[in-house]
Structure 1
């Protein structure tokens, strides 16, 4: 029987891969997680009483602690009845201290995180170091004890704050070091994954946004690089009311001005009538907003002759090369969809136009909304939409 306690994602407990102990109330569950974070250490009952019953007299707090431990043991015994022939608890309680039960095979992802991190930085060879640090990074799945609380306990909140800060600081270091290692090995996708995990923890790290832009550009994913810049601009503007630093803006200007390789397959007829194919390529597992729309129209926008002047104002919402057409106005998203519809109708007048998605299910949500909009509003004899 293996018990696994997860603190670096949605906090939960599993027994042999199946979630367990879901009947534990909030305070009992929080106590198990607290002791799990200190696996191998004993915590005095006085400390536990002060943390989990801070507003009660010492005698009442100790009484509540005893009841809570008895309650946890009862739940554990019920859930482990098919695996154990005697009463058992995930928490061991002695006269003055409590700890995670050492007689049970319990693994805690947070403890494994610290062990892999320490071993990784002590490793002599690069392969071992990379493997251990990657295991530490993989343990983090989006939060540190997310949603865990003890009402009215400042001591518990303070412990949570320091625990999260310690994990986040070390995880930033690990992800940066791994990204650097993978870049040297030309493992661009792995480096990108590490940097995206960094932004998942702290989206205000502008240097990480810039590094991601460079990796996307190096990987011939120019649309993603531009989308990453727009995300950087949005985050910094909303959270800090500032613009990106000059180095970030300069790199964005460089890639937006350079000619990109075409994402779409197009054939042109010698006469004025043309047959044009616009492809929506499959996106990454977690695509950025507008990524598909940008890919759909990039080649059309790059060819300035294909976009009438009266449509450039609406396209400026997404394409920065037309930003001088906005006149400082914030236009609604529906205006962008309407402009794209009018552009496609304009292209349809020049010849047959086919819009096709390689895998509609993998598109970002904004592109899916555009597909729905076009399906409901675009009706042109020369235009075919295939999804």
Structure 2
């Protein structure tokens, strides 16, 4: 762990050597958030224009100098300041946004679990800087991008839990997925299936009725045909059973549940549901092709 850490998923928290740091100006936090998320240096002129858009050049530069002095005193050498630029030293700072983005690109369930766990709330939740419209636009853009990344991560976690036979666990992730967007039909579809698969038909029916109400109230439209068909199949008892759990997925989800860490489980490919025999044949062929001495093998590792 580095000496400086920035937790920006939720209300911003800045810590140095484990102790929380406070500032007498909110623009110091805005500056650190900008540098941490963009991951690059910015010129002094760029920062001054962003955070003091209505001030004349001399006043904006003076305000920036004071803010940099306050920030540097609080966070130490992790803040790199020159006569023309300002930035953060990447190797000296832990940023939850960057870790979140990295973990949600991983394939294993443990990494996804840890990643979504970092998301305390929306980016810089509750944090505002007055009279800085360009910063507000940037903040809103980052917030929406990270919410979409969380939604995709939760969708993948639901699929991983279903593949592992962890249906109750999948419901928890699907519920959080749905909370991100009350108009997102794929999340409703997942909830309907999961409730039906776990013997909660009344809950599944309520989920569909809730969707109908929300769509009618907010958009004046009906659910998609596939959602309605899913509902009718459930009512008629025609809904397909959940896929049989796969061993690889079960291991990944079990490790995620037990440890919550990504480093204690190898990256696992997503299962081919219903194609276990074909997947086994492909793996066998791959091993044969890569075995030492096999045609096309490259030394000890083909």
In 1, distance between residues paired with 2:126 and 2:29? 11
Rate the CA distance shift 1:203–1:89 in 2: closer, same or farther, 3 A: farther
**Aligned residue in 2 for 1:202:** 181
For 1:238 and 1:144, locate their aligned partners in 2 and report how far apart those are by CA, in whole Å: 28
Deviations 1:274-308 (A, max 9, x none): xxxxxxxxxxxxxxxxxxxxxxxxxxxxxxxxxxx
Equivalence for 1:92: 80
TM superposition shift of 1:12: 1.9
Counterpart secondary structure, 2:104? helix
The structural deviation recorded for 1:110 is: 0.2
3-state SS of 2:14 partner: strand
Match runs of 1:176-325 below 5 Å: 176-253=155-232, 255=234
Counterpart for residue 71 of structure 1: 70
Q: CA deviation at 1:54?
A: 0.9
Query: What is the DSSP-based 3-state SS (H/G/I as helix, E as strand, rest coil) of the residue aligned with 2:122?
Result: coil
Deviation at 1:10, TM superposition (A): 2.4
Once the two structures are TM-superposed, the CA of residue 216 in structure 1 deviates from its matched residue by 1.1
Shift of 1:43: 1.7
State the TM-score, normalizing by the size of structure 2: 0.68
RMSD of Structure 2 on Structure 1 (CA): 2.7
**1:26 matched residue in structure 2:** 26
Distance 1:203 1:63, change over 3 A: same
Structure 1: distance between partners of 2:170 and 2:229: 23
Deviation at 1:189, TM superposition (A): 2.5
CA distance in 2, matches of 1:227, 1:170: 28
Q: Distance in 2 between matches of 1:16 and 1:213?
A: 46
Select the structure with the greater relative contact order (CA < 8 A; seq sep ≥ 6): 2
Determine the structure 1 residue equivalent to 2:10.
9
> Radius of gyration: which is bigger?
1
Range 209-218 or range 154-163, more displaced: 154-163
Which residue in the other structure is 2:99 paired with? 112
**Per-residue deviation, 1:16:** 5.6
Moved beyond 6 Å, runs of 4+: none
TM-score, normalised via structure 1 length: 0.54
C-alpha distance in 1 between matches for 2:91 and 2:165: 46
- Paired residues, number: 236
Q: Secondary structure at the match of 1:37?
A: helix
Question: Is the 8 Å Cα contact of residues 142 and 200 (structure 1) preserved in structure 2?
Answer: no
Change (3 A) 1:142 1:225: farther
Distance 1:171 1:222 in 2: 28
- Kept after mapping to 1: 8 A contact 2:23/2:71: no
Structure 1 unmatched ranges of 5 or more: 78-87, 122-128, 259-387
- Mark the runs of 5 or more structure 2 residues left unpaired by the alignment: 238-302
